[in-house]
Structures are given as structure tokens and as C-alpha cells.
Amino acid sequence: MSAKFFQLKSFFAYWLDAVDEHSLHSPFLFDFYTNVLIKEFPFQDVDALKRIKRKFEADHRTINVTDFGAGSLKMKTSSRKISDIARISTTPEKYSRLYSRILRHYNCTDILELGTSLGINAMYLAKAHDAGRVTTIEGSNETASIAKQLFDDNGIKNIQVIQGNIDQELPRFLDSIEKIDFAFIDANHRFEPTIRYVELILKKIHMNSILVLDDIHYSSEMERAWNVVQSHTEVYTSVDLYRCGLIFFNPSLTKQNAVLQF
């Protein structure tokens, strides 16, 4: 099965199953849907972040991207234009704004991102509220350098960039911290590494932590990884938004997977 056909098939299944707040019986999920998922809040930096993305989309310089994972379906070589990375590989604004709302609503301050790319999503995470501390790990040296320059140019002080292979850097980072409130995994896109990253991160989560797994229907491998993660004994409620999956660990929640319209 081709990747495109798989994604179309999985989206059709999502479209058939996705529900809105009128079908939610869980008070937690109803609150999440109405007060986080579909409720926008004023985000004063959004126009500046949109301008940054447009600037990247107009930047046709070529860089060499070291890809330790499954690679891009649309960019087949390591030599890539910044404009193509911005257009294809960065988190869509709709989702970056959602992650900012999650951080605010659940007061997440210790934030981890795997897969920095050009750094735009990390900026959304960092600007969610003043108390947030973001650590983002990027395997590609040239991509990480662009992100670091972006943060410096914009005076962003609460983002730490770790450049290196996540397989080596993630365990080292986790050994240095006490907890993770919010983790966003957007790296590798293969089954075994994704599961390994999740298992490592689980050692630092607490009952109110939130894990977001990006591109859960990107491929059969990622969909299988999502199914394994949502079935984990430490997971109580999971939410499928097609583009990403959200994991909640509070034992007071009902064991369920919700497929929500977004």
C-alpha cells in the first residue's frame, strides 16, 4: 500500500469516527473539547510568528538535513530548501496554537519537544505563558543552527536547544531533570524509536502530564505505534485528532480513546 493511499484510508476512517462535544459523556473530555480544542484565546505573538513562517517560506537557501528517521515523503534528499522545510515539515499553525492552549489550560511548565525543525513550533510552546521552560532536541546540525538563530534574533530566553541524535541526547537530558509536564514527539516516524522515546519519557511523567505524538497516521508504522501507546497500562485517556494523538495519565480518568473533530 502506498503512503498516500494509506493516509487517505486512515483519514476516511477518522472522518467516520470523529465526534464533537455533543457525543462526549466524560466531563474531562467535554472540558477539553469546549475549553481547549475549539476555544481560541488572544495570542498577541501570532502575527509575528506568521511573518516568521512566511519569511522561511520565501527563503530558498539550501541546507543539508541529517535525518535519523523515516525521512520525508516529499523531500527525498538530504539537501533541502529552507522554503520547502517551512512549507512541508513544520507544524501547522492550527496545531501549534492548540498546543499553546493546552500548556495554558493545564499549566504545563516543563516542556520537551523532540524534533525542532526550524523552531517555529518551539516558539509557540515558549510563548504560551511566562513560566514555561522548553527543551527541544534536533538531530540535524544545520536545522538546529537556524532554530537557535531564530530564538536569539527574537530574544527568546526560555528555549534550550540540544543538537544531536535523539537516541543519545534524550536519555542524557532525562537524567538531568525531575519531571515533564508536556512532551511533543515529532521525530523519526518509525515504530521502534517512537516506542522507545515514549518509554523513556514515561519515566519522568506524573499524573497530570500530557504527551502529544505527532503524525500518528503518517504511515502504518506510526499508526501501529499510536495503537501501542494508547493501550499502555499507564495511559488512561487518549485523543485522536488525526494529525496528532494526545495522551493523558490521570488515573481518575476513564480508560478510553476518543476520536474528536478538529
**What structural domains and CATH numbers belong to the chain?**
3-43+91-259 (3.40.50.150)
Q: Which of 184, 188, 208, 205 is nearest to 196 (CA)?
A: 188
Output the pLDDT for position 2.
80
Let me know: does 99 contact 212? Beta carbons within 8 Å: yes
35: left (phi over 0), alpha (psi -120 to 50) or beta: alpha
The residue whose grid cell reads 519519557 is: 201
What DSSP string runs through 1-52? --HHHHHHHHHHHHHHH-B-GGG---HHHHHHIIIIIS-----TTHHHHHHH
Chain position carrying cell 517555529:
120
pLDDT of residue 88: 93
Task: Report pLDDT for 155.
Answer: 95
Q: Are 116 and 137 in contact (CB under 8 A)?
A: yes
pLDDT of residue 43: 80
Q: Give me the pLDDT at residue 3, please.
A: 81
Output the pLDDT for position 75: 56
Q: How far apart are CA 224 and CA 1, in angstroms?
A: 15
Length of the chain: 262
- pLDDT digit of tens for each residue in the chain (262 aa)? 788 899 999 999 999 999 999 999 999 999 999 999 999 888 888 999 999 999 999 999 999 987 765 555 565 578 999 999 999 999 999 999 999 999 999 999 999 999 999 999 999 999 998 899 999 999 999 999 999 999 999 999 999 999 999 999 999 999 999 999 999 999 989 999 999 999 999 999 999 999 999 999 999 999 999 999 999 999 999 999 999 999 999 999 999 999 999 9
| Structure confidence at residue 67 (pLDDT) | 74
